[in-house]
Amino acid sequence: MHHERPSFLWYNGKMTPWDDATIHVSEMGWSTIGAVFEGIRGYWNEDQGELHIYRLREHMERLQRSMKLVHLPLDYSVDELIEATVELARVNDCRHDTYFFPMAYTADTYFARFDGLEVKTSLQILTRPLPSHLGGDKKMHAKISSWRRISEDVMPPRVKNLSNYRNGQLARQEVGIDGYDTAILLNTHGKVSEGPGACVMLVRDGKLITPDLTSGILESITRDAILVLAREVLGIPVEERVVDRTELYVADEVFLCGTAAEISPIVSVDRYPIGDGNVGLITRELDRVYEASLRATDSSYAEWRTPVGLAATVPA
C-alpha cells in the first residue's frame, strides 16, 4: 500500500496541488448532509502498462442523478467529469489499482440554513490506491441487522447521498460488535435489501437471484455488470425480484457485490452455513469473468473500460 498523498486532486474545475485544497473548519456543519458522491475503480493491467477505469460514464451519470435528487446544481457535463477523472489519473501517475472518489457538496454554508434551495456546489475528485481482492480467498460471515434499510418515504436509497451511509454504518457496527464480518439489511417490508455499501446476490438451483431496484437498494453498477456477465458469459438465468430472508438461509451461494466490495463471498448468514460452507462454484466463476472485464485481460466488454493513456507515457 502507498500511504503518501497524491500530487493533485481535481477541485472545482482545476487540477489542484493536494496541499492547496483546503476549506475553513466552519464549513464542517451543514456542507455534507446533502452531499452526494461516487466510488469508482481503476484496474491496473501490468502487461499493457495501462490503467482502465471501470464504467466511468455510468458512474458520472449516476452522480448527475444523485445531484438532481438532492437539488445540487452541477456546473459540468458528464463528458467534462470523465475528462477530469482521466486527466487526474494521468497527472497522479496511478500505476496501480485505484479508487476514484468524486464528491459534490454545498459550498459557503456558514451563513446558510441547512434547508435552502439557493446553494452553490463544490465538487472534488480524489484518487487513492485500492488493491483488488478478486481471485483471493475472502469469506464472510453475515448477520441480518436489526436496523432496516432506509426507505423511499424517508431518504432516497437509489442514489449516493452521503447521509444515507449512517444507515449502513450502524448496521455494520452492530453486527461487528456481535462478531460478524458484514451485515445484510432488510427493507421496511421485511424483505432482503442490501449490505452496507454493496448489493446482495444469491444462487439457488443454478439461478442467480437479486433484490429488484424497488427493494430500497442503490442503483448499483456492479450489480448490473454481474447480471450481464452471468447471463451472457456464464449463460445462467438471472432473476431480479423481491427476496425473502429465509431464501438466504437455504441458498447454495450468497455474495455481496459493489465497486469497493467487488465480489465478496458470504459463507454463512445468521450462522446458517451457505451451501457446504465454502465459496460456491458460480461465485468463483463470476469472480473470474468479472476480473477479466475490469482488468482488460481479454478484449470483451471494452465499452465498459476507459483506458487512461498511461501506456503511452513514461512513469513519473
Give the nearer residue to ligand PMP in terms of CB position, either 66 or 106.
66
* CB-based contacts of 287, cutoff 8 Å, min separation 6: 134, 135, 262, 263
Give the nearer residue to ligand PMP in terms of CB position, either 6 or 168.
168
What is the grid cell recorded at 170? 450502524
Give the nearer residue to ligand PMP in terms of CB position, either 8 or 194.
194
Closest CA to 304 of 293, 314, 289: 293
- How many Å apart are CA 37 and CA 31, to the nearest integer? 13
Give the nearer residue to ligand PMP in terms of CB position, either 156 or 197.
197
Closest distance of CB 258 from ligand PMP, Å: 3
What is the grid cell recorded at 163? 447521509
Closest distance of CB 244 from ligand PMP, Å: 20
- Catalytic, 160? Answer yes
Stretch (H or E) spanning 105: strand 98-107
Give the nearer residue to ligand PMP in terms of CB position, either 196 or 275.
196
Q: Determine the 3-state secondary structure of 121 from DSSP.
A: strand
- Judge whether 163 and 33 are in contact, CB under 8 Å: yes
Closest distance of CB 59 from ligand PMP, Å: 7
Site residues (CB under 6 A) for ligand PMP?
A: 39, 168, 194, 197-199, 218, 220-223, 258-259
Closest distance of CB 66 from ligand PMP, Å: 11
The one catalytic residue in 138, 143, 160, 191 is: 160
**Angle subtended by helix axes 281-295 and 221-232, to nearest 10:** 110
- How many Å apart are CA 95 and CA 44, to the nearest integer? 6
Q: Are strands 182-186 and 140-144 parallel, antiparallel or unpaired?
A: parallel
Closest distance of CB 223 from ligand PMP, Å: 6
Closest CA to 226 of 249, 259, 186: 259
Active site residues: 160
